[in-house]
Copies of this chain bind each other. A is one copy, B any other.
């Protein structure tokens, strides 16, 4: 194990550590002992990660405690209540009791689904996140959001359940397909754009090392992104609403993702979503035109999409955003960039609505 970094998520009694390191998983038994001691562990993972890491981890952990490997079919379309029932039944059959804990091993889908199993198993048992994608490391594994999708939308069913620890081993990224590396870095670019201009530029400067999965470069990015996310979430404990800035690129991104039937990776959808939302901000005089240009260039440099997928109309997306917000009883609001490293505040709010014709015009200009 090389040097590792620890970021504390300060949530009082529910606080926990995020540990980032290269080769960290060699000491998973020790990490579990310190952060999430349990009489028995269930590793939950998907069919992609199980052969790459799951079976080795099962053998490794079995030396220290009874351990079970529970696998479900990979893919966002399997993040369902049916998969949750199947996994919960596997834990019951394996005899996991109230003194058991879950290890969520995989990308964002695994973390959301395994976290929801942990949140609801015998009224909640402890779990840790072991993210194995850049996206999960920089974003979804931190924050305690768990859940599943229904036909009507993403994450409509779920719970808040904080993990006892997040262990991000950059060595696991060596087997991650390159498009997934780039897609995860879209969220890192987002963190730079919303909160730290120097960080944004350093990601762009390190592009080649990052895409080549250089462990040191990835380590630095993951650590800094987690620091930013934790700081924003912490800030919002008093000031209701600031965490909305983490949604930059996501209002449009989610609609793109849904309309494209999950053919795009989440990070790819967020990439184009950021470009659209930056252009929206520019169109209403909020976002610095130089920032829009820099953001768009950076996204292209990582091979990420900066325009809408072919065949996707602006009207389709507008409808998608409206129906998602309708399901949640909100209006369509956008967190807008002011300049690189700073989001725009409108009075006391961090989001605002956009005139329909502006939205239609910008979406039209970014269609392929």
A119 proximal to B (CB < 8 A): yes
A349 proximal to B (CB < 8 A): no
* Centre residue among A98, A99, A120, A326 by max chain B CB count within 10 A: A120
Within the complex, the shortest CB–CB distance from A344 to chain B, in Å, comes to 24
Q: CA separation between A327 and B122, bound complex, in Å?
A: 10
Q: Which of B81, B97, B122, B329 contacts A100 (CB 8 A)?
A: B329
Q: Which of B89, B120, B329 contacts A159 (CB 8 A)?
A: B120
In A112-166, which residues have CB < 8 Å from any B CB?
Answer: 116, 119-124, 145-147, 150, 152, 155-160
Q: CA separation between A151 and B347, bound complex, in Å?
A: 54
Q: For residue A99, which residues in chain B have a CB less than 8 angstroms away from its CB?
A: 329
A39 proximal to B (CB < 8 A): yes
A88 proximal to B (CB < 8 A): yes
Q: Which of B100, B152, B157 contacts A120 (CB 8 A)?
A: B157
A242 proximal to B (CB < 8 A): no
Q: Which of B88, B327, B329 contacts A157 (CB 8 A)?
A: B88
Q: CA separation between A326 and B39, bound complex, in Å?
A: 13
A95 proximal to B (CB < 8 A): yes
Contact A329 B98 (CB under 8 A): yes
Contact A120 B123 (CB under 8 A): no
A85 proximal to B (CB < 8 A): yes
In A78-99, which residues have CB < 8 Å from any B CB?
Answer: 81, 85, 88-89, 92, 95-99
Q: For residue A326, which residues in chain B have a CB less than 8 angstroms away from its CB?
A: 95, 97
In A243-297, which residues have CB < 8 Å from any B CB?
Answer: none
Q: Which residue of B lies closest to A144 (CB)?
A: B123
Q: Which of B39, B124, B327, B328 contacts A160 (CB 8 A)?
A: B124
Q: CA separation between A165 and B311, bound complex, in Å?
A: 50
Q: Which residue of B lies closest to A100 (CB)?
A: B329
Q: CA separation between A72 and B95, bound complex, in Å?
A: 30
Q: Which residue of B lies closest to A81 (CB)?
A: B85
Q: CA separation between A116 and B328, bound complex, in Å?
A: 19
In A282-332, which residues have CB < 8 Å from any B CB?
Answer: 326-330
Decide yes or no: A97 and B147 within 8 Å by CB, A158-B123, A159-B159, A160-B124 being known contacts.
Answer: no
Within the complex, the shortest CB–CB distance from A3 to chain B, in Å, comes to 36
Q: Which residue of B lies closest to A84 (CB)?
A: B81
Q: CA separation between A124 and B147, bound complex, in Å?
A: 11
Contact B92 A328 (CB under 8 A): no
Q: For residue A100, which residues in chain B have a CB less than 8 angstroms away from its CB?
A: 329
Q: CA separation between A226 and B27, bound complex, in Å?
A: 49
Contact A92 B123 (CB under 8 A): no
Q: Which of B92, B98, B123 contacts A152 (CB 8 A)?
A: B92
A40 proximal to B (CB < 8 A): yes
Contact A98 B158 (CB under 8 A): no
Contact B328 A97 (CB under 8 A): yes
- Give residues in A with beta carbon < 8 Å to B: 39-40, 81, 85, 88-89, 92, 95-100, 116, 119-124, 145-147, 150, 152, 155-160, 326-330
A-B contact pairs, 27 of them (CB 8 A): A40-B329, A81-B81, A81-B85, A88-B157, A89-B150, A92-B150, A92-B152, A92-B156, A95-B326, A95-B329, A97-B326, A97-B327, A97-B328, A97-B329, A97-B330, A98-B328, A98-B329, A98-B330, A99-B329, A100-B329, A116-B120, A119-B159, A121-B156, A123-B147, A123-B159, A123-B160, A124-B160
Q: A97-B327, A120-B157 are in contact. List 13 more A-B contacts (CB 8 A).
A: A39-B329, A40-B329, A92-B150, A95-B327, A95-B329, A97-B326, A98-B330, A99-B329, A120-B158, A121-B156, A121-B157, A122-B157, A123-B159
